[in-house]
Chains A and B, each alone.
Chain A
């Protein structure tokens, strides 16, 4: 179980690091093995920051992230290597994720060190073949090629295979579909579904709601670094309670249904804490309440905590 316990990240910005930007505020959720959890948000909502914190590419400022109860921030040396054997990531742009002068088999062989010595050549080759087979590729097809000789879908699958070479239990998939073409993206998405069936826990980071709806069991909606709604995908998408979630779903272009003629504003129809939360992190923040089993919503309106009727004003000006 990979768990975030009130994990926060604040970046220092500006010339001398004097400014503060709260990118993630007390994210609190977990990913179990054998499930796909999608993390949905617009640009700047902190979804990639969460992925990078899990992969320990950046530090956690507040709260903690644990793997099976162990705080990952404390991992050093061999323990950290052990962590990376279990938790791996794949990123958005397959074309820039590769070193262009290495062939695919060389990219793979760089991982042998992580597994710790003592890997016989035979055993290693079998591992590579198994990993490639599980993403629907054959060794002969890709191993002796340079990245520029492969298509985007193939590269993305090679990256997933690379992540599977280890004893991977958790995969952070950060927008891995967005650079692919419509005719191949669904194959990569189905691949995630197959890996899930094999017991992998996947954090699927995306801004595309229909992809999240297709593949995930649970969905988490992130807005300005804060989780505003989470729960089973069917509940979050079928019965969205937070106004922001409703607005996002309303904007999704559908195939056999035209957009309603709602307000054309690109701005969220905000919760009454909208401005205070962005102005100062210490200011009030609506707690998450359980609206139905497992379906959590953080909106002050829902249980009458909104001071006065500011919400109506916000709506009027939006």
Chain B
């Protein structure tokens, strides 16, 4: 069944007006799929993840629908979402390390959390221990306070908690950004393992780090200024990027082996537009080397090859 998002629009109310953080995003995530969502800061990628679970009260749902496993999620209504949150759709928040209650032992916190969802924690006792062991944590973390755990351990505890009720959809928001390379790898591979074990049925991994996504994601979506720029299977997107933004983004990443002395990489000149009053037409056109008059009208997000969709007039 999976996830179907159609023309999702989410704005933030500010004194200066509405910030159009998501302006018409349409995409699907199939069952068993790990979708990577990448983009610069402020492009709306975290807003997309958060809006599916409605975690932030300042969001205003302006339009579009979200259907998960055939159920339309009431993402405009924070109270109505309570029934689905954590059970059907769950999130590993950004800065998961500070998501734990510092005054509770981990075990007690989990018990309280399960009871708040109307689940008796005894039923999950054995499963919880099994999953902790699976991510390489010893049982005695349940008797510890968060301050006694390292960053990587806290991250894994939060991952186990978020997926304990086997949600259909898991959103992982920048969960590897604050970790060292070796814990990064462990955490990223744990995500894949959770999908393989069937703890979650579909996953959206949000991060600015394209190389992590290349390692674990089945499909990649690139966002720019509140809209999708390109979406394709991971290999396809890395080998044949079509949108100028995706191309520049990938070519600006210092890969292992590339050295300043041999080949000088270039960044993307300019800065993303303000989402308070976004420009008309293609939002990348001020920074785009290919832009011309045609780009003053908004390009549609269309499939140009099987499963490969792009929003650009210059892609035939």
- Residues on A lying within 8 angstroms of B by beta carbon are 42-43, 151-153, 181-187, 189-190, 193, 207-211, 213-215, 233, 237, 247-249, 251-256, 258-259, 264-268
Find B211's partner among A43, A213, A253 (CB 8 Å cutoff). Answer: A253
B185 touches A214 (CB 8 A): no
A42 touches B181 (CB 8 A): yes
Find A255's partner among B211, B265, B268 (CB 8 Å cutoff). Answer: B211
- CB-CB under 8 A for A213 and B254, given A255-B210, A266-B136, A268-B182: yes
Find A181's partner among B40, B214, B248, B258 (CB 8 Å cutoff). Answer: B40
For the complex, give the distance between the alpha carbons of A181 and B181 in Å: 18
- CB-CB under 8 A for A248 and B211, given A183-B40, A214-B259: no
**Neighbouring A residues of B208 by C-beta, 8 Å:** 181-182
Q: Other than A183-B267, A190-B267, A233-B259, give 17 A-B pairs with Cβ distance below 8 A.
A: A181-B41, A182-B208, A183-B40, A184-B268, A186-B252, A190-B265, A208-B181, A210-B254, A210-B258, A214-B265, A237-B256, A251-B185, A253-B211, A253-B214, A255-B211, A265-B186, A266-B186
B255 touches A210 (CB 8 A): yes
Q: How far is the CB of B4 from chain A (nearest CB, A)?
A: 29
B211 touches A266 (CB 8 A): no
B266 touches A186 (CB 8 A): yes
A264 touches B186 (CB 8 A): yes
**Neighbouring A residues of B256 by C-beta, 8 Å:** 209-210, 213, 237, 249, 252, 254
From B208, which residue of chain A is reached at the shortest CB distance? Answer: A182
> Could you give, for residues 234-260 of chain B, a 1 whenever the CB lies within 8 Å of some chain A CB and a 0 otherwise?
000010000000001110111111111
For the complex, give the distance between the alpha carbons of A253 and B260 in Å: 19
Q: How far is the CB of A47 from chain B (nearest CB, A)?
A: 11
> Could you give, for residues 198-217 of chain B, a 1 whenever the CB lies within 8 Å of some chain A CB and a 0 otherwise?
00000000001111101100
Q: How far is the CB of A215 from chain B (nearest CB, A)?
A: 5
- Residues on B lying within 8 angstroms of A by beta carbon are 40-41, 136, 151-152, 180-186, 188-190, 208-212, 214-215, 238, 248-250, 252-260, 264-268, 271
Q: How far is the CB of A194 from chain B (nearest CB, A)?
A: 10
**Neighbouring B residues of A268 by C-beta, 8 Å:** 182
- CB-CB under 8 A for A265 and B136, given A211-B254, A213-B254, A255-B253: yes
For the complex, give the distance between the alpha carbons of A208 and B212 in Å: 13
Find A186's partner among B182, B183, B189, B265 (CB 8 Å cutoff). Answer: B265
B238 touches A256 (CB 8 A): yes
From A151, which residue of chain B is reached at the shortest CB distance? Answer: B271
Among B136, B215, B257, find the residue whose CB has the most chain A CB atoms closer than 10 A: B257
**Neighbouring B residues of A189 by C-beta, 8 Å:** 254, 260
For the complex, give the distance between the alpha carbons of A215 and B265 in Å: 11
Q: How far is the CB of B283 from chain A (nearest CB, A)?
A: 14
For the complex, give the distance between the alpha carbons of A251 and B41 in Å: 25
Q: How far is the CB of A28 from chain B (nearest CB, A)?
A: 24
Among B190, B214, B254, B257, find the residue whose CB has the most chain A CB atoms closer than 10 A: B254
From A244, which residue of chain B is reached at the shortest CB distance? Answer: B182
Q: How far is the CB of A95 from chain B (nearest CB, A)?
A: 12
B266 touches A253 (CB 8 A): no
A213 touches B259 (CB 8 A): yes
A255 touches B189 (CB 8 A): no
B184 touches A253 (CB 8 A): yes
B257 touches A207 (CB 8 A): no
For the complex, give the distance between the alpha carbons of A251 and B10 in Å: 37
B189 touches A259 (CB 8 A): yes
B189 touches A182 (CB 8 A): no
- CB-CB under 8 A for A255 and B250, given A184-B267, A265-B136: yes
B260 touches A193 (CB 8 A): yes
**Neighbouring A residues of B267 by C-beta, 8 Å:** 183-187, 190
Q: How far is the CB of B96 from chain A (nearest CB, A)?
A: 15
**Neighbouring B residues of A210 by C-beta, 8 Å:** 211, 254-256, 258
A254 touches B255 (CB 8 A): yes
For the complex, give the distance between the alpha carbons of A193 and B249 in Å: 20
B260 touches A247 (CB 8 A): no
Q: How far is the CB of B56 from chain A (nearest CB, A)?
A: 21
